[in-house]
Amino acid sequence: MYSTLQSYIDDLDNLVNEIPDQRKQKLAKIADYIRSKEPAKLNFICTHNSRRSHLCQIWAATLAEYFGVESVETYSGGTEATAFNSRAVAAIERAGFKVENPGGENPKYEVSFDDESKPLICFSKTFDDSHNPEKDFAAIMTCSDADANCPIVPGAEKRFSIPYVDPKESDGTSKEKETYDERCRQIASEMYYMMSQV
């Protein structure tokens, strides 16, 4: 792990106690699913695949590596495609990830947690895009809108709901950076707890 990212992750253990018991129960059920599958394919889904679903995909992959959880594949998608939001990208860079931006309207960012592992390719797409699994995966709903609008995710063998408040609500305000960093840290701490339970 990059040193800044390693320090960030080391601090997450202190945040686990702040996770409500109800959330821990939901995360533990996903951990049970991961233990039961080889490989465990996790597709994190929100409306635009621009913020929360990407943060979950990136942190789940990173913390699976951190805890030595093998055979986990992480994906993300939306009910529609836009772009991986630059504010969310900046938040993961502040956390210590290395991000390469090739440019374009919907860039295929390369996100790395170390120099040895293959980077995660992160760009906005629908949950049924060809880059995502077609079957035998868990659909993990990360926003209430996607949860309500996708009662059935074709091909998913399991469906979980762990909605997060959209950091988009702070866009263009003085609280923008703080809100994105808070959501990044919340998602990181919950993915940390989830992978620690596998």
Q: pLDDT digits over 77-109, tens only?
A: 998 999 999 999 999 999 999 999 999 999 999
Phi-psi region of 104 (alpha: psi -120 to 50; beta: other; left: phi over 0): left
- The pTM of the whole model exceeds 0.85: yes
Per-residue pLDDT, 144: 72
Domain 3-196: CATH superfamily is Response regulator (3.40.50.2300)
- Size of the chain in residues: 198
Q: What is the pLDDT of residues 2-30, one digit of tens each?
A: 999 999 999 999 999 999 999 999 999 99
d(CA 97, CA 110): 10
The domain limits of the chain are 3-196
On the question of pLDDT at 120 being above 90, the answer is yes
| Average pLDDT value for the chain | 95
Q: Kindly tell me the sign of the dihedral angle through the C-alpha atoms of 127, 131, 134, 138.
A: negative
